[in-house]
Amino acid sequence: MIPAWYAYLSSYYVKSRLFNIKRPLLAGLKITHLCNLKCRHCPFWKKERMSLSFLQAKNSLKALYDRGTRLVIIEGGEPFLWKDNDYDLRDVVAEAKKLFFSVGITTNGTFPLEVSSDIIWVSVDGLRKTHDLLRGESFDRIMT
């Protein structure tokens, strides 16, 4: 996988620098507005409860891939809350992997991190007192 990345990045660099062809290498896919926390700084829990369908997520991934994106960050809301009938976050990650994406997930860390993404970012806003002030009492849950 690493040699393929080097080849792609080399090609990306040549196309963008020498031929001025601009393509998004990294993209965020907001899969849901649903969230189980009410963080002071985040608008998602105040938004209309919206989520992509599995087909919309699949089509979005394909469109991103066709545009040149190779790293997708699945985010929300809280991605681990996303479901569409029998599909869950693991299915979206698997679909991205079929397209040879590198996959990252941003999460508040309050759910088991059992998914085959390449990287998971858990949002921690400081030590216990600061984190809990901003995100509600979730510090202990994400640190265990």
The pLDDT tens digits of the residues spanning 65-121 come to: 999 999 999 998 999 999 999 999 999 999 999 999 999 999 999 999 999 999 999
**Is position 9 within any domain?**
no
**Is position 38 within any domain?**
yes
CATH number of the domain that residue 126 is part of: 3.20.20.70
pTM for the model: 0.83
Average pLDDT over residues 111-138: 93
> Count of domains in the chain?
1
The pLDDT tens digits of the residues spanning 7-61 come to: 666 666 666 667 776 778 899 999 999 999 999 888 877 778 899 999 999 999 9
Residue 20: how many other CB atoms lie within 10 Å: 7
Domain that holds residue 121: 23-143
Element (H, E) at 96: helix 89-98
The answer to whether the beta carbons of residues 111 and 78 sit under 8 Å apart is: yes
